[in-house]
Amino acid sequence: MNKLTDRSGMALIIVLTMSMFLLVIAVSYIRGNAQSRPINERHFERAQADFLGQGVVQFAAMKFKKRPAEFYYAYRAMRAGLGDAALRAYLNDDTTLNNEFVDQEGQRYEYFTQMQLITNKLYETDGIRIQVTVNQLSDTGTIVLTRVQEHVIEAKRRPL
Amino acid sequence: MRLFFWHSDKGFTLTEIIFSVLILAGTMIPIAAMMGQGFEGTRRDQRQIVAIQLCQARLNQALAVPFDDLVSSTASIASGGQVILPLGDVEQENFTFNVSLRVVDRGVTYSYLPVDVNVANYAVDDPTTWVFGTAETLTINADVAKIATIVVSWMERGTQQNVEMSTFKANLEL
């Protein structure tokens, strides 16, 4: 009876120790695996936001092509200190340049457009800088990520 | 005190060894299953990353396609005898992905304030003489813009998986 008491339980201790060791390895592996998924998801959303930004840049370029004078008037009036009502009407109130896009998965993206006149007198060039900011929104409307697309349309000034 | 490690003359009993193996097996089987799931999850993620990268590459190519040629298609789009947007089945990482393009027309509406150039003291170089009118809009509905979506699909354990990415394309030749 005494001999049995001395020997018994050792295998159990060894097995339990090994089991604990394996469990720790498995848990750490599963945790690491679980953490890798959100990076993958954000990779998709970053790319989607960038593509939306590129598309909206095209819309802004098209607007400038169709209504260049109205932009110049609005921008120069703002720079002359006459208020920014015309520029806000041109940029901020435009529903094509500022809107929301919902993808097939139901993910919401909002985008805003800014345009800026960049003039270089030394090189006799005029340019328009188009900047589109795309935010990916959560279900509650908070911003999850922000991506910015910028494009400059540059042209040599015509001699007077 | 007797040390059973060194002074035991019988070692482990068969019953102990059987119980040990059973406990070890009982622990190892769920762990092995979890690790198997982990590996499968990693492979699934890998396929999704490949699908996203494929989607990005094709959408970049779609942006370079002339406006009129950008139409919904499941087969490659060619121009001048050359494929400019490869679509259809693609073999990557020992897996088959199907790539298609979905295009929807959309209009644009641009808002602005016009300047009345007919007012008496209007001078093109003097912003203080400019009189802005009420808000106007320019609406173009047809042949002006498209929403282009690349769809990459593949089968995962009998279920179809999709990755879709969209962009806008404006007809800048208009």
Quick: pLDDT tens for A80-127. Answer: 999 999 999 999 999 999 999 999 889 999 999 999 998 877 777 788
For A8-132, where are the alpha helices, taking DSSP H only?
10-66, 68-79, 85-90
pLDDT of B10: 64
How many structural domains are present in chain B? Answer: 1
Quick: pLDDT tens for B102-129. Answer: 999 999 999 999 999 999 999 999 999 9
- Kindly determine whether residue B164 and residue A103, on different chains, have CB atoms separated by under 8 Å: yes
Chain A contact set for B17 (CB, 8 A) = 11
Which residues, in sequence order, are bridge partners of residue B105? B146
- The residue with tokens 């060039």 is A125
Distance from CA of B144 to the nearest CA of A (A): 9
SS3 (DSSP) at A157: coil
Cβ distance B107 to B145 under 8 Å?
yes
Nearest to A143 by CA among A45, A53, A35: A45
Question: Burial letters for A53-77: b for 16+ Cβ neighbours within 10 Å, e otherwise?
Answer: bbbbbbbbbbbbeebeebbbbbbbb
CA A7 to chain centre: 65
The span from the CA of A74 to the CA of B165, in Å, is: 35
Kindly report the pTM of this predicted structure.
0.79
**A13 in reach of chain B (CB within 8 A):** no
Query: What letter represents residue B169's amino acid?
Result: K
Strand A99-102 to A108-120 pairing? antiparallel
**B22 in reach of chain A (CB within 8 A):** no
Distance from CA of B159 to the nearest CA of A (A): 17
Mention every residue, 6+ apart, whose C-beta is less than 8 A from residue B8. Answer: A3, A6, A7
Q: DSSP letter for B68, please.
A: G
pLDDT bracket for residue A138 (50, 70, 90) = very high
For B115, the closest of A23, A36, A73 (CB atoms) is: A73
Which residues, in sequence order, are bridge partners of residue A77? none
- Sign of the dihedral through C-alpha B27, B30, B36, B38: negative
pLDDT bracket for residue A1 (50, 70, 90) = very low
- Kindly determine whether residue A54 and residue B19, on different chains, have CB atoms separated by under 8 Å: no
Nearest to B163 by CA among A55, A101, A43, A146: A43
Using 50 as the pLDDT threshold, list the residues of chain B that sit under it. Answer: 1-2, 4
For A33, the closest of B8, B12, B42 (CB atoms) is: B42
Query: What letter represents residue B54's amino acid?
Result: L
The span from the CA of A48 to the CA of A110, in Å, is: 12
Q: DSSP letter for A158, please.
A: P
Quick: pLDDT tens for A2-24. Answer: 455 555 667 777 777 887 888 88
- What is the extent of the structural domain holding B103? 4-170
